[in-house]
Structure 1
Amino acid sequence: MTGLRPACFRFTRLALTLRALLWLQEVHRKMQTLAALLLATPAQHPKGLGLKPGDRVLLVYPPGLEFIVAFLACLRAGVVAVPVYPPDPRKMKKDITMFIAVASNCGAQVALTCGMYYNIKKIAAIKQKLTLGRGQPSWPEHLSWVVTDDLVALDVDAALWRKPDDAPSARDLAFLQYTSGSTSAPKGVMLSHGNLNHNLRTISSALIAGRDTVVVSWLPQYHDMGLIGAYLGTLFNGGTGVYMSPFSFIKDPMLWIRLMSKHRATHLQAPNFAYALCARKVDRLEGATDVNLSSVRHMINGAEPIQGDAMDAFYKAFAPFGLPPDVVKPTYGLAEHTVYVCGSGAQRLWVDKAILENESVLQPVLGSNIAARRAQLKEMIGCGIPSRKDHGIDLRIVDPETSKEQPDGRVGEIWISSASKAGGYFGDEMKEISAAAFRAKIVPSSDGDRSAEEASTEYLRTGDFGVIFQKELFICGRMKDLVIIRGRNHYPQDIEATAESHEELRPGCSAAFSFSDGADDHDAEKLALVAELRDPDIKNKASLCGRIRSAIAREHGVKVTLIVLVKPRSIPKTTSGKISRARAKKALDDKQLDVLYRNEDMIGDAPDNGDGDEQLEGAVGDAEMDRRAPAPTQSGAPAAQGASQKVDAPPQEVFQFLLSEVAQLLDVDKAVLNPNTPLQELGLDSMALTQLQGIVNQKYHVNIQEEVLYNEATTLKSLQVALCGGNVGASGAGQATAAAATLSGESAPTRAKKPQKLVCGCIAC
C-alpha cells in the first residue's frame, strides 16, 4: 500500500467517550515492531515467531484498534492475514465450527489476538472440558496463540525490519477474506496487494474521499466492507476514523447518529437494514438540539438487497437533523472483487414483476400506472454506472447458460474483469471451482472479429443476476442459494442441517431460503424453512417448530420467521435428487405445497412449559464462560459479580415494559405473547436480544447479564424476575462489577473516586 498520509483512529463506547486513539505515527511504529517480530526467529529475538512470507496467520480480535495494527503488520511482513470472527462460546456453536473449518482450510499455525480474548478463550476451553461441553467442537489444538498487546510496545532493533527491496509485490497474496460457504467447505478469497491497491484507489476516486474524510463506522473489522471501506480506506486517504462495536450499534442505533454529528462525519457505510433500524429508532433523539448531520457527503448502502422504502424512511427521519438529500448511495460489491464494484445509484424504477421473472426483461412502468398496479410491480434500485474508462472495471451482463453477452435491458449473470478481481479461492481442492468462477470467457454472439485482448479476457462470475438499463446496473437477485439476513450471510445447508438434527424431520428433505412479504421492516428479507415430516400425524407440531427455531437461533444467530411442515416426498427436487430451494420457494408462494402445519414467528403457538417436550436445559453461564470478567478493585481484589443492583420499579411495571418492548421487536400484539415461552422460541434472534439489552439499559440503567439474556430457557417472566431480583449488573450506578470486560468491547461507567484503568475487551480506557 502506498500513498499513506497522517491519519487518526478513534474507538468509542456507548457513552460517546473516547476509549482509544491511534495516530498514524503510532500505527506505523507498532506495525513495524510487530512485523519484525512476525518474521524474526527466536534466535534473533526472544519474542520472534519465525514466520515466513506467505504463511497464513489468523487475526482473532474483538472490536478495537489492535486488529488494524496486526493486519497492517501482516501486510508489511508479507505474511497472509486471515481475519476471522472471534467465536463467542457462550452463544452459537456455529461460530467455533466455522472457526475450526477456516483454520483448517487456510493451514494457519498461528493466531494473533489480544490478552482479554485469549483469557476468555482459555477459560471457555477449560469449562468445556470440565462441565457440559463434552462432544462439542473444541478449539484447534495445533494453533499457537500469540497475544500482541505487549509485543507492539517492545523496543525492537531496526536491523530486524525487512529491507524495502524485500517488500511484498503487487502480485503477492495480502490476505484471505472468507466469504459465504458451508462450514464443511469455507471459501477463502485470495486478495493480493495489487487487488487491494486498485480497489482502494477506485473507492477513493468514486467517493471523492481525501484528507478531510471522516468515517464513522460500526461495521465488523473482519467483514470486507468494514475492513476495506471503513478502516483501510481511512488510512489510504489520510482521513480520520471513528469506530464503535457492532454490539453498541445494535443496542443503541442512535449512538451511530450522534457520533456522525459529534465528529462531523463525511463518509459512512452500512447495509440496508441499518438504515431501516435507525429510522425506526429516531424517537430516541426526540428533543435533541445538538445533532447536526449536515457534514455527511456519502453513505454507502450495500451488502444486502437494497429497499427504497428503507432509504425513504431514513431521509424522512433525519432530514430534520440536517441530513442532506441524496447522500445515501446504493452500491454493489462483493469479496471476490475485493469489495467495491460500483455505486452512487441514481435511478429507482418500478418494473413489471411478471415480465422480469418470466421473460428476464426489465420493463419500467411509468406515471399513474404505478399506483394502480402496485401489487404487480417490483421496485428496482440502481447501483451506479460501472466505469471501464475511469476505473478499469469491465462489467458485462451474460447469459449463464450460453456465456453470451446480453443486450441492455435483458437480465443475465453479472461478470466482471478488473485489477480488483481476486485470484480465486484458497486451496488445491478449490482449483476447479476457482477456474470456473474467476476465469470465465465470453462467447461471441457472432463470428465477427474480436481483438486478441477481448478474446483472452477472463471474467469473474459473480453468481448474481443483474441488468443494465440506461448505463446503470440493477441487481435482480442471486443465482446461488446464499441467504442474507440483516447484512449477514447464511449458508442454507448449515441451517437445514441444524433443522434436520431433529428426528421428526426427514434427512435431506428441507429447504431454507429468504423471502420478503412486504408486510413490515421496509420489505426486509426474512428466513423461511420448509421441511418434510417423517410422520405426518405427529402431535405437538408447534413444539417441534419451537425447538427448531431455538436451535437455529442458538447455532446461527438468525431468526426463522416462517416454518412450514409438509408431507413426505413433497418438496421439489432436481433431476439428480437434490432439494431445489428456488422451486420450493416458488411452490410456497404459489400455495402448491402439501402443507401440514404453518408456523410464523412462533407467536401464539409457542408451547407452555410442561407440554411433554424435553426442556431446554443447561444454563449458558454454567456450560460456558461468562463474558464479563471481574474488574480489579482499588485494593487489588476482584470485585464480586452479579446481583448488587436491581431495577428500582414495581415488578408488574417492569413486566409490562418488557412485554411491550418484545412485542414491538417482533411486530406483534403483546396479547399473543406467552410469558412462559423462551424468548428465542418467541422469535428473538441474537440481534433482537442485543437490542432488548440496550432498551432495558436506557430505561432502567441496569445491564442484563448475558448468561441471563442468551440463556435458551429465559422467558419474559424469568427475565422480569432477574431484573427485579437483582440478578443484573449495574451499568450506571457505580459498581465496579459492571465495568467488567466484554467481548463486544463494552463496559459500563463507574463512579470511582480515583480514575481506574479498566481493560475493556482489548482496549484500555
Structure 2
Amino acid sequence: MEAQLDARLASTFVDVVQRQAGVHGDREAFSYIRDMSDGQITDSLSYRELDAQARVVAGWLTKQGGSSGDRVLLCFPPGLDFIVGFFGCLYAGMVAVPAPMPEGFSSAEDRVGKIVRDAGINLALSDANGAPKLERWIADRLGTTLPCGPVRAMDSALAASLTVPEISPDTLALLQYTSGSTSDPKGVMITHRNLLANMRLISGCADGGPDSRAFCWLPVIHDMGLIGQVLWMLFLGGCTTLTSPTEFLRRPYRWLQLLDELNADFSVAPNFAYDLCVRTVSEDKVPGLDLSRWRVTFNGAEPVQARSLAKFQEKFGPAGFRAEAFLPCYGLAEATLLVTGTAADSAPVITTVDAEALARGEFVPVAAGDGPRELVGSGTVDRSRVRIVDAGTGAALPDARVGEVWVRGESVAQGYWGRPDLNAEVFDQRLDGETGFFRTGDLGVIHDGELYITGRLKEVLIIRGRNLYPHDLEQTVRSVDPRLATGAGAVLALDAPEGSVVVVQEIKPRGLTEDDYRALAQDIQRTLVREFSIPLPSVVFVGPGRVRKTTSGKIQRSLMKQLFVTSELNSLHEELTDALRAHLKND
C-alpha cells in the first residue's frame, strides 16, 4: 500500500501523478478498448508516460500565452487523449473544462457554445483529428479564434521549457459543468483540495489499492466518469481500462465478460446499466460468465432502485455475482462527487416503507412486502457533514423526517463560475450556528444512521397535500405493459391547470394504431389513479430517445416540462384531459 499512502500525502493532484510516476514508472495506468467485440487493447498509458505527456501539453499551453487560472476547453472523442489533456491543464496551473465534442447533435453544439461563453475559454484541446475541426467550429459558430492543441501530437521538446507554476491545494483545477435539468449548464468550481478530499471519501467506502483494476465505460466528461473512475483509480495507483458508452450500449454482455477477462474488481454504472443487462442478456449466456472477482460496482443514481439491484442479483448470482458488490452511493458535482456511500463488501441496506407516510414526509418502516416503496440506503451519514433540513424554514429536521439534504466539508466546491447571486442562495449556508453548508436541492431522510434519497425538491409532485416522487410513477408506468418496459418516461406536474399531471413516455411506434395508443394511455391512467390516488393524468407518447436525459442518465424533467408547454415534444399520440386541452388552447 506504499503508493497509496504516498498519494494520500499529496497536496495537489499534480503531486499525485508525479508521485505515482515515481513509484510505478512503466506500469500501466490506463488502457483503452475501442471495440468490445474483440476486447483488444488499442491504446495504453503508463504512469511515467502520463507524467511526461502531461508536461508536453502544459508546455504547449504556456507557449500559446496561457497563464495560471486560464480556462481550457477539453473536447475529445472517446479515448485516452482526454486524460493527458486534463492533466496537462493541471500541470500548467490552468483550469480544465470538459465538454462533449460539438458534433452529431444540435444539443451538444448548443451546450459547448454555452460553456465556451460562460467560462470565458482561453484555449482548447482535442486529439490530432479533432483539434482542427474544433478550431474551425469555434471560429464559424462562435466567431472566436482559439488555439486548439492536438494532444499527443505535440512536439515533445515543449516539456523541456516548462516551469510548473506554483500550485496550491486551493488552486482551481476543474470547472465541472452540470448536466442540469434545463439547457442552462453551470460550471462548478473544483479545487485540488476538493478533489483530494473526495478521493479520501471514496477510499473510505471502497478500500482499493495499487493492485486494483477497473473496467469502465462512463463518459469521462461527466463527474462520475472523470472523478469516480479515472481520478480515483489513479489516486490508488491502480489500473483502469476504458471503453466508450456506445460500446457498452451495443454490447452490455461484453461488459460483463470483459470484467472477468481483464481481472477487474471495480466498475461504475447507474441503474439503467443493470436493467439493460437483465433485459438483453439471454439466460443461455449467463453460465458463460464468471463475475466472482467483481468486488465493487458503484451505483450513484438518484435514487438507487431496489428493483434494479434485486433483478440483477437474481439473474447474475448464478454467475458468481454477489449482492455485496453493489455499492449504492449519493453524490453530486457540487460536492466534487461522493457525499455518502455504503461500505464495500456489505450488502445494500434496503428498507420497505409506508408509501402514504412517505407522501406526508415521514419515514415509517413496515414489514417487507407490506408497502409499495422500497428505499435503498446511500451510506452511513457523517452528521458533521450531512444534515436534513426543512427547505421552507431552514430548520434542521429530526431523523425519519424527509427534507432537503444539506452538505458541507472539504469536498464541497467553491460555487458556480460567474454566478454570485446563485452562490449566495445555495452555498455557505448557516444551520444551527454552523456555516459552510450547500443546499443540494435533493430530498432525503436519515434512518438508523443511513441516508435515503427520495427525490428532487423541484421535481416533487404535490398532489392534495401529499408529496409524490416522479420516479415512482415512472417506474409504475413501465410496468403497465411490456411495450413500455424499455422506454424512458417523465412524469410532470404543471403549474396550470392546478393539479395537472402529464406522463411523457417513450414507445416504439412500429405496428401501433391509434386504438393501441388510446388503450395503452387508458391503462396508464387507470393504474396511476389506482396506485397513487392522483387526478386523471394526461398521457403523451413519444419516440425512442425523445425523453431528454443528462450525460449520467438522469431524466431532465424540468426541460421536458418546458418542451411540453411549448409544444416541442414531437409526440406520436396525446391523450389529454379536457381541462388541460382547454388550457393549452386558450394559453
Q: How would you bin the TM-score normalised by the shorter chain? A: 0.7 to 0.9
User: Contact 1:563–1:600 at 8 Å: present in 2 too?
Assistant: no
Deviation at residue 61 of structure 1 after TM alignment: 0.4
User: Contact 2:287–2:319 at 8 Å: present in 1 too?
Assistant: no
Change (3 A) 1:63 1:460: same
Report what 1:720 is aligned to.
none
Q: Structure 1 residue aligned with 2:507, among 601, 618, 626?
A: 601
Report what 1:343 is aligned to.
341
Report what 2:404 is aligned to.
413
User: Contact 2:209–2:238 at 8 Å: present in 1 too?
Assistant: yes
Deviation at residue 340 of structure 1 after TM alignment: 0.4
User: Contact 1:560–1:683 at 8 Å: present in 2 too?
Assistant: no
List per-residue Cα deviations over 1:149-180 (Å, max 9, x = no partner): 4544522352x2224xx331111111100003
Report what 1:441 is aligned to.
430
Q: How far, CA to CA, are the matches of 2:451 and 2:59 in structure 1?
A: 45
- Which is higher, the Rg of structure 1 or of structure 2? 1
Change (3 A) 1:403 1:482: closer
| TM-score (ref. length: structure 2) | 0.76
Change (3 A) 1:363 1:150: closer
User: Contact 1:234–1:240 at 8 Å: present in 2 too?
Assistant: yes
Change (3 A) 1:286 1:187: same
Q: Structure 2 residue aligned with 1:144, among 138, 143, 146?
A: 146
Q: How far, CA to CA, are the matches of 1:104 and 1:228 in structure 2?
A: 25
List per-residue Cα deviations over 1:7-27 (Å, max 9, x = no partner): 521101223111101111111
User: Contact 2:286–2:319 at 8 Å: present in 1 too?
Assistant: no
User: Contact 1:169–1:193 at 8 Å: present in 2 too?
Assistant: yes
Q: How far, CA to CA, are the matches of 2:134 and 2:62 in structure 1?
A: 26
1:477-556 matches, within 5 Å, as: 477-481=455-459, 516-519=473-476
Report what 1:684 is aligned to.
544
Change (3 A) 1:687 1:123: farther
Letter in 2 for 1:434: N
Q: Structure 1 residue aligned with 2:68, among 27, 50, 53?
A: 53
Q: Secondary structure at the match of 2:30?
A: strand
Q: How far, CA to CA, are the matches of 1:523 and 1:242 in structure 2?
A: 39
**Pair 1:8 & 2:7 matched:** no
Q: Secondary structure at the match of 1:242?
A: strand
User: Contact 1:516–1:523 at 8 Å: present in 2 too?
Assistant: no
User: Contact 1:254–1:285 at 8 Å: present in 2 too?
Assistant: no
Q: How far, CA to CA, are the matches of 2:404 and 2:278 in structure 1?
A: 33
Change (3 A) 1:326 1:144: same
Deviation at residue 517 of structure 1 after TM alignment: 4.1
User: Contact 1:297–1:327 at 8 Å: present in 2 too?
Assistant: yes
Report what 2:362 is aligned to.
361
Report what 2:448 is aligned to.
470
List per-residue Cα deviations over 1:272-303 (Å, max 9, x = no partner): 111111122221862764x3222111111113
1:234-633 matches, within 5 Å, as: 234-283=233-282, 286=285, 289=288, 291-344=289-342, 346-358=348-360, 360-366=361-367, 370-371=368-369, 373-374=370-371, 377-387=372-382, 394-427=385-418, 430-442=419-431, 444=432, 455-481=433-459, 516-519=473-476, 561=489, 571-573=494-496, 583-585=499-501, 601=507, 603=509
Report what 2:551 is aligned to.
none
Q: How far, CA to CA, are the matches of 1:561 and 1:355 in structure 2?
A: 25
Deviation at residue 213 of structure 1 after TM alignment: 1.0
Report what 1:448 is aligned to.
none
Letter in 2 for 1:246: P
Change (3 A) 1:50 1:562: closer
**Pair 1:103 & 2:103 matched:** no
Report what 1:70 is aligned to.
85
Return the structure number with greater strand share.
Answer: 2
Report what 1:545 is aligned to.
none
User: Contact 1:113–1:148 at 8 Å: present in 2 too?
Assistant: yes
Change (3 A) 1:418 1:571: closer
Deviation at residue 561 of structure 1 after TM alignment: 4.5
User: Contact 2:127–2:152 at 8 Å: present in 1 too?
Assistant: no
1:134-213 matches, within 5 Å, as: 139-156=141-158, 158=160, 160-163=161-164, 166-181=165-180, 185-213=184-212
Report what 1:729 is aligned to.
none
Report what 1:86 is aligned to.
101
Deviation at residue 572 of structure 1 after TM alignment: 3.2
Q: How far, CA to CA, are the matches of 1:523 and 1:436 in structure 2?
A: 41
Q: How far, CA to CA, are the matches of 2:102 and 2:314 in structure 1?
A: 38
Q: Structure 1 residue aligned with 2:58, among 35, 38, 45?
A: 35
Q: How far, CA to CA, are the matches of 1:209 and 1:599 in structure 2?
A: 40
Change (3 A) 1:318 1:523: farther
Q: How far, CA to CA, are the matches of 2:422 and 2:323 in structure 1?
A: 43
Report what 1:544 is aligned to.
none
List per-residue Cα deviations over 1:331-355 (Å, max 9, x = no partner): 1000000000111173211111111
Deviation at residue 601 of structure 1 after TM alignment: 3.1
Q: How many residues align?
A: 489
Q: How far, CA to CA, are the matches of 1:112 and 1:440 in structure 2?
A: 36
Q: How far, CA to CA, are the matches of 2:453 and 2:335 in structure 1?
A: 16
Deviation at residue 518 of structure 1 after TM alignment: 3.6
Change (3 A) 1:288 1:125: farther
Q: How far, CA to CA, are the matches of 1:602 and 1:216 in structure 2?
A: 32
Deviation at residue 205 of structure 1 after TM alignment: 2.7
Deviation at residue 324 of structure 1 after TM alignment: 2.5
Change (3 A) 1:431 1:325: same
User: Contact 1:272–1:304 at 8 Å: present in 2 too?
Assistant: no
Report what 1:115 is aligned to.
128
List per-residue Cα deviations over 1:292-317 (Å, max 9, x = no partner): 22211111111332111111111122
User: Contact 1:218–1:249 at 8 Å: present in 2 too?
Assistant: yes
List per-residue Cα deviations over 1:191-237 (Å, max 9, x = no partner): 01110111012212321011011111000000000000111111111
Q: How far, CA to CA, are the matches of 2:303 and 2:456 in structure 1?
A: 10
Q: How far, CA to CA, are the matches of 2:228 and 2:91 in structure 1?
A: 19
Worse overlay, 57-66 or 179-188: 179-188
Deviation at residue 523 of structure 1 after TM alignment: 10
Q: How far, CA to CA, are the matches of 1:155 and 1:285 in structure 2?
A: 55
Change (3 A) 1:562 1:312: closer
Deviation at residue 562 of structure 1 after TM alignment: 7.3
Q: How far, CA to CA, are the matches of 1:563 and 1:351 in structure 2?
A: 22
Q: How far, CA to CA, are the matches of 1:310 and 1:599 in structure 2?
A: 19
User: Contact 1:561–1:601 at 8 Å: present in 2 too?
Assistant: no
Change (3 A) 1:456 1:352: closer
Structure 2 residues without counterparts, runs of 5 or longer: 1-12, 462-469, 515-540, 549-569, 571-587
Change (3 A) 1:77 1:247: same
Q: How far, CA to CA, are the matches of 1:411 and 1:563 in structure 2?
A: 21
Q: How far, CA to CA, are the matches of 2:258 and 2:106 in structure 1?
A: 34
Q: How far, CA to CA, are the matches of 2:326 and 2:312 in structure 1?
A: 9
Q: How far, CA to CA, are the matches of 1:320 and 1:405 in structure 2?
A: 45
User: Contact 1:101–1:184 at 8 Å: present in 2 too?
Assistant: no
List per-residue Cα deviations over 1:530-572 (Å, max 9, x = no partner): xxxxxxxxxxxxxxxxxxxxxxxxxxxx9775799xxxxx953
